[in-house]
Amino acid sequence: MLPICLHHPRSPGYPPSDEDVHEYFAKITTENDMSLTAHSAIARFLAAVHKTMLDWLKEERHRNNFDGEKLHKWWYGIMEQRAEQKMRQKFFTEVLAKAKTVSH
């Protein structure tokens, strides 16, 4: 499970926005649904998010010798939306850094 909240950061309601991810996607052109630039940005994000998620899960499993259930609980704790969610923010910061470094 990889929840992402793309609504505007100043929009009221729950869950809170993943502001950096919102900004990344807000910069994508919406004038042409066949835009190679837009498709490339989306593909870079998806590749980076899956690579980063896999890296984090492998590292945590190795570090704490977690079985599947414990690893799932750990990941859910990181991805749960609540105020001051530093690990979730750190995760998406790493994802976006990877997505932005890929040539386009």
∠ CA 82-26-83, nearest 5°, is 10
Q: What is the structure's pLDDT at 74? A: 93
- Do residues 92 and 18 touch, judged by C-beta distance below 8 A? yes
At residue 83, the pLDDT reads 60
The whole-number pLDDT of residue 84 equals 61
Share of the chain above pLDDT 90, in %: 62
Task: Specify the 3-state DSSP secondary structure of 13.
Answer: coil
pLDDT at residue 93 is higher than 80: yes
Q: Where are the alpha helices (DSSP H) in 11-84?
A: 19-26, 36-64, 68-79
Give whole-number Cα distances, 24 to 13, 46, 72, in Å: 21, 12, 27
Measure the CA dihedral 23/29/41/89, to 10°.
Answer: 10
Paired tokens of 30: 């919406």
Q: What is the pLDDT of residue 14?
A: 82
